[in-house]
């Protein structure tokens, strides 16, 4: 292997690693705030790619129907819960949030599809549509059992994963889609060639991570999520409701995953069930961070990207095996070094 091949592999690995890092961060966020091991994250990646692909083809993506269906179910769940709690006067506002907003987004996507809007606008719409699905799924599947054990939440996650994969097949069909590259440009530096597309992916990921950092460090809602992650009872005692924290977490996590979907689209062909494998790689990163450390999770995801890229060069048939085998020494190391501690 010469330097230029190595440079290419590194570039490839870092590009994929940046995407896995976003996923890993979403998984850590969801786990620390809600204790949910968010297996269905991959479906949100898939939806992100397929929504953008639909918009690019000029036909309304399956997301429109999916969003409407899920919003109607969530609205029914919310209505029943509200009436049970005898809070009927709060119903209009809640319906506006749980039904009105998703329907408005679905309408916007449906309207925009045939109009050939600029790529940036299409990306915004695709992100909005998939992001809206996050809190809706939380409302339907997780909020009613938010106090359950991690194991129960995990089992529900597996069920949601299969449900969302099935819905993906139903609404998007079995054909794969690929979105065009954002840019075909490339440039050379120090005798090595870099593609602008890769650079864009890495920069976009860094910007998103930076925004997330600001959100948690500087805004009240970000601090509220952090507080919930640090001390659940303490958070309730200052009036942060777990449902609010959960819904907000799923907004952010779905946005991160949808963003991954947009970034993945030009790299690989995405089918309705492709997300799972992508999300597993995010999981390897997240588990390197013990599901609680953001920096370690991001670093772990980067490592996964590099490992994947180099193993596909040396032993491409085994690349997945190599990547997932990484998890064994990591789990061993973690189980030897980690201790349970109560944060107060």
Partner 1 sequence: MNGVTLRDALDVRDLCVAYGKVPAVRDVSLQVAPGSIVTVIGPNGAGKTTLLAAIAGLLPARGVVRCFGDLATAWPVEERVRRGIVLVPERRELFGSMSVADNLRLGAFTRRGEQHKAAIADVYRRFPRLEERRGQLAATLSGGERQMLALGRALMSAPRVLLLDEPSLGLAPLVVRDIFSIIAALRSTGVAILLVEQNARAALAIADYGYVLESGQIAVEGESASLAANPRVAAAYLGQAHTARTPAAPPG
Query: Which positions touch partner 1 (CB under 8 A)?
Result: 85-86, 220, 223-224, 226-227, 230-231, 233-241, 343-344
Of the pair 95, 230, the CB lying nearest partner 1 is at 230
Of the pair 103, 227, the CB lying nearest partner 1 is at 227
Of the pair 2, 343, the CB lying nearest partner 1 is at 343
Q: 10 Å Cβ neighbour count for 29?
A: 24
Nearest-approach distance from CB 85 to partner 1, in angstroms: 7
Closest of 178, 200, 202, 203 to residue 266, by C-alpha: 178
Give the separation between CA 71 and CA 137, rounded to whole angstroms.
9
Of the pair 85, 174, the CB lying nearest partner 1 is at 85
Residues β-bridged to residue 189: 192
Nearest-approach distance from CB 218 to partner 1, in angstroms: 11
Which residue is associated with the tokens 């772990």? Answer: 300
Contacts of 137 (CB under 8 A, 6+ apart): 40, 70, 160, 164, 250
Nearest-approach distance from CB 342 to partner 1, in angstroms: 9
Of the pair 10, 227, the CB lying nearest partner 1 is at 227
Nearest-approach distance from CB 128 to partner 1, in angstroms: 27
Of the pair 2, 344, the CB lying nearest partner 1 is at 344
Give the separation between CA 145 and CA 160, rounded to whole angstroms.
13
Nearest-approach distance from CB 242 to partner 1, in angstroms: 8
Nearest-approach distance from CB 246 to partner 1, in angstroms: 13
Which contiguous run of DSSP H or E holds residue 233?
Answer: helix 232-237
Nearest-approach distance from CB 343 to partner 1, in angstroms: 5
Of the pair 224, 301, the CB lying nearest partner 1 is at 224
Which contiguous run of DSSP H or E holds residue 195?
Answer: strand 192-195
Nearest-approach distance from CB 245 to partner 1, in angstroms: 10
Which contiguous run of DSSP H or E holds residue 120?
Answer: helix 119-137
Of the pair 161, 232, the CB lying nearest partner 1 is at 232
Which contiguous run of DSSP H or E holds residue 211?
Answer: helix 196-218
Give the separation between CA 6 and CA 25, rounded to whole angstroms.
27
Which contiguous run of DSSP H or E holds residue 189?
Answer: strand 186-189
Q: Are 301 and 21 in contact (CB under 8 A)?
A: yes
Of the pair 85, 151, the CB lying nearest partner 1 is at 85
Which contacts of 292-300 are long-range, i.e. CB under 8 A and separated by 24 or more positions?
A: 292/28, 292/31, 292/32, 293/28, 294/25, 294/28, 297/21, 297/24, 297/25, 297/27, 297/28, 298/21, 298/24, 298/25, 298/209, 300/24, 300/330
For the chain, state the CA radius of gyration.
20
Nearest-approach distance from CB 209 to partner 1, in angstroms: 19
């Amino acid at each position: 292997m010469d330097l230029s091949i190595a440079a290419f592999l590194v570039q490839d690995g870092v590009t994929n690693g940046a995407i896995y890092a976003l996923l890993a961060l979403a998984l850590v966020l969801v786990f620390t705030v809600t204790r949910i091991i968010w297996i269905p994250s991959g479906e949100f990646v898939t939806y992100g790619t397929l929504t953008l692909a639909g918009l690019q083809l000029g036909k309304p993506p399956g997301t429109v129907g999916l969003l409407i269906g899920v919003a109607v179910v969530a609205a029914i769940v919310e209505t029943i819960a509200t009436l049970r709690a005898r809070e009927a006067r709060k119903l209009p506002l809640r319906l506006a949030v749980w039904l009105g907003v998703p329907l408005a987004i679905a309408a916007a996507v449906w309207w925009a599809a045939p109009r050939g809007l600029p790529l940036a606008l299409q990306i915004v719409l695709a992100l909005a549509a998939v992001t809206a699905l996050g809190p809706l799924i939380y409302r339907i599947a997780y909020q009613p059992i938010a106090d359950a054990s991690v194991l129960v939440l995990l089992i529900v996650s597996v069920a949601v994963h299969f449900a969302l994969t099935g819905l993906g097949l139903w609404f998007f069909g079995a054909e794969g889609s690929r979105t065009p590259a954002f840019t075909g440009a490339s440039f050379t530096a120090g005798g090595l060639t870099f593609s602008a597309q890769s650079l864009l992916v890495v920069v976009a990921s860094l910007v998103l991570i930076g925004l997330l950092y600001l959100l948690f460090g500087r805004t009240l809602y970000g601090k509220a999520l952090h507080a919930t992650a640090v001390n659940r009872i303490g958070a309730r005692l200052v009036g942060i409701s777990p449902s609010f924290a959960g819904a907000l977490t799923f907004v952010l996590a779905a946005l991160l995953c949808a963003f991954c979907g947009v970034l993945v689209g030009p790299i690989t062909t995405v089918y309705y069930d492709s997300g799972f494998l992508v999300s597993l790689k995010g999981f390897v990163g997240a588990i390197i961070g013990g599901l609680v450390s953001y920096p370690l999770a991001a670093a772990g995801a980067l490592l996964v990207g590099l490992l994947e890229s180099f193993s596909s060069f040396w032993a491409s048939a085994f690349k997945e095996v190599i990547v997932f085998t990484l998890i064994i020494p990591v789990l061993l190391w973690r189980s030897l070094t980690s201790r349970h501690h109560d944060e107060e």
